[in-house]
Structure 1
Amino acid sequence: MSEKKKQHYVPKFYLKFFSIKHNQKHIKLCLKKSGEIIHQADLASQAQESYFYGKDLEREKWFGTIEDTTSIILKEVVKTKTLPKNNSDDYYWIWLFILLQAYRTRAHADEFNDIIDKTMKTAMKFESQFKDFEYDKYFFAYDDAIEKTMDILLKSLPMMRDMQIKLLLNKTTEEIITSDNPVSKYNQFLESRKFPFGHNGMASKGLQILYPLAPDLMLLMYDPKIYKVGNRKQFSQIVINEKDVGVLNLLTCLYANKVLYSTNNVTDFHFEQLLENSTKFKNQKKLELKYYDPVTNYDETKSVIVQHHKTPYMLNLNLSFVKQTQHAKSYKLSGYYSEIRDESYRNKR
């Protein structure tokens, strides 16, 4: 039991891609809040908590099985700088791994519980019995928030099957960094349309998901109806420039929960600049709630509808390897609170 007590929400095999001098034992880290830098941190103790997935070890073993398979595939990708064949089994293992990583971290669990807390408190304010409730003294949350978010993800996976993966190659002298919440999301399409609501839902039209894989590699999952990335048949070694690396690292920094990671080739000054540049955007991503007046149900009970969305980071992102398709350029926004990639989902609601 004790050997399973420390449960990683960012796998050790993945962090080893960013280890110092490829020794796989140490990694350079920068604490996001204080800016403190540790040049040789113990890699095995990073991005983990005691019984993060529960003491029954069921979820921990499940992730372990997936990591055993995916680690072999990703190690080969890092070595060859080439993705598995499009739509192959190995390709979809990477697809699944990216999505699981996005939903299994401490940062995501805290964000989920923040939604639960604020939604509950908003609804409670319509109930007379809570008029004297001291809202600031309590925080509503699930102890098993990761279990809840995993259930949501797994039920939603079919709507992600249309997303395409490509592998970006960094040949510059600036290295790609990662973090304790390594997957970041963006939506250049909805940003360009000044869309006022959520940009980064799983079914959002124009969604982009970025996953640093190694100092010279980045995985990009994207909406292929909206973006052209490299040539149509080019899935690997899509070269990015130094400006691209800079803004992608900035996005990684913004999404990081507490810690940034890198090899020792990333200078302390680079981390300092990154943290300084991120301050102008850090307040952009926040939870916004909208509620409607209570309605009376057939049994004379009342219901309150609370709608929420996360405002996205808006960096005015301009990436050299991404262009919008003709479909994107001619697309007319629907006027709904969300823009859905597959319109059939919207019609079923």
Structure 2
Amino acid sequence: MVPHVSYKLFRLNWSEQLATNKNQHFVPRCYLKPFSNNGEGKAIRVFNLDREQIIENAAVKHQCSGSYFYGENERLETAIQSIEQKYAGALLRVRSPSYNDFLVKDELILKRFWLLQYLRTEAASKRAVEMSNDLVKLAGAGYDFNLEIRDAVQMAMHAFANEMRVIDDLKVCLIKNATSFPFVTSDDPAVFNNKWFKSDRRHLGSGFGLRSSGVLAFLPLCENTMFIAYDSDVYSIPKNSGIIKIKREEDVYALNQLQFLNSRANVFPGQRYSRKLLCDAYRSCEENRLNVRHAFHYAVFDGVEKGQKRYRVVGEHEHEGHQEILVHSQNLFPSPKSWPILLQWRKKGFGMTNGTGVGCIRRTCIDSLSEQPFEKMYTGR
């Protein structure tokens, strides 16, 4: 159980006050530093996916940043920097050769940092903007609303402040890479996915969110260490004191593939990979990258039955011409070619469902006020 006092480390409270730092990073320099040249945090090697070209000695200060990316709110900027400082301290401890026991306080810090990073990148903000603007287009004439990147970032930061405890129930593990092939990272490094939803036909077409059963969170910390949080009611990872050492190169390929699939434009591979190896790794999974990261599902009014409105699910263009439409938006996540073998199925694993639109969620996320009782959905493993 996480000590309540630890939450004070992450309390966010801000009001309008002009930011003093114009160049704001959505992937912080303290995160990129271990992947930079000689770990100095000054220059970094970049592999651009579109051109399949390596850029040597790119300035770290110009990577993953924008002019007033978080707006001009100094309190917000200060709150984010506070979390980054906590992360930098945890990273220093985790990378120590004598660190053999994953500390509770470091587990919490890395969970919170992962969630912040997942919500705040340029890629995440662009996905929110694209979904919002497509929805406005769907609504048609009479709607004058255009979400901007900064608006999306502000919304994401408030979502983080309100929902920062949402993944506290997940088990965590540090993956130590004992192979000669290092972990890579990217401009959207906090990966979110769900192996169960991706592999079980009962979940086919279903979306998943932070409260869903079977969720997985990945974040490379440096070339030989990765953080993973997982739903322990669905998966099992054989570990010692919260740490597992991997010696299979296939596991490293699978974990690196998540960065190639999730990144917006650039991967940061460190110094040891040749251009050929990077191109081969990217091309092996390129077809699984998603050009669009959201989908809409439609239901049109189909009459009244026993005093209740009835809706009928229709295809993408079949809703046109109908006056009353229900639209459900769904985030999409790329499917990796393979999963690391260290991620095993828990025997008699399960999630919780009550047959409503809430879907299959973790037992810790059940709303006590729900009118519909929940029951277990087993993974069948």
- Give the TM interval when normalised to the shorter protein: 0.7 to 0.9
Determine helix, strand or coil for the equivalent of 1:327.
Answer: coil
Higher relative contact order (CA 8 A, sep 6+): 1
Q: 2:146 aligns with which of 140, 145, 151?
A: 140
Determine helix, strand or coil for the equivalent of 2:217.
Answer: strand
Q: TM-score, normalised to structure 1's length? A: 0.85
The reply to whether residue 178 of structure 1 matches residue 179 of structure 2 is no
Determine helix, strand or coil for the equivalent of 2:96.
Answer: helix
**Structure 2: unaligned runs, 5 residues or longer:** 1-17, 304-322, 372-381
In structure 2, the partner of 1:108 is 124
Deviations 1:58-90 (A, max 9, x none): 32211111112221111111223747655x333
1:336/1:172 CA distance change after superposition, 3 Å: farther
Residues 164, 223 of structure 1: 8 Å contact kept: yes
Q: How many residues align?
A: 331
Residues 82, 236 of structure 1: 8 Å contact kept: no
The reply to whether residue 33 of structure 1 matches residue 50 of structure 2 is yes
1:317/1:118 CA distance change after superposition, 3 Å: same
Structure 1 residue 46: Cα displacement = 0.9
Structure 1 residue 325: Cα displacement = 1.0
The reply to whether residue 4 of structure 1 matches residue 4 of structure 2 is no
1:183/1:262 CA distance change after superposition, 3 Å: same
Determine helix, strand or coil for the equivalent of 2:297.
Answer: strand
Determine helix, strand or coil for the equivalent of 1:340.
Answer: coil
AA in 2 matched with 1:111: R
Counterparts in 2 of 1:90-129, with a 5 A limit? 90-122=106-138, 124-125=139-140
Q: 1:341 aligns with which of 325, 347, 362?
A: 362
Structure 1 residue 223: Cα displacement = 0.6
Counterparts in 2 of 1:284-323, with a 5 A limit? 286-293=293-300, 304-323=325-344
Deviations 1:91-146 (A, max 9, x none): 31221111101111000000111121122222x24xxx55xx9xxxx983134211
1:274/1:341 CA distance change after superposition, 3 Å: same
**Cα distance in 1, alignment partners of residues 324 and 79 from structure 2:** 38
Structure 1 residue 334: Cα displacement = 5.8
Percent of residue pairs identical: 21
1:89/1:279 CA distance change after superposition, 3 Å: closer
The reply to whether residue 223 of structure 1 matches residue 234 of structure 2 is no
Determine helix, strand or coil for the equivalent of 1:116.
Answer: helix
**Structure 1: unaligned runs, 5 residues or longer:** 297-301
In structure 2, the partner of 1:241 is 248
AA in 2 matched with 1:161: D
Structure 1 residue 267: Cα displacement = 1.4
AA in 2 matched with 1:345: D
AA in 2 matched with 1:15: L
Residues 351, 361 of structure 2: 8 Å contact kept: no
Q: 2:94 aligns with which of 77, 94, 99?
A: 77
1:270/1:179 CA distance change after superposition, 3 Å: same
1:106/1:37 CA distance change after superposition, 3 Å: same
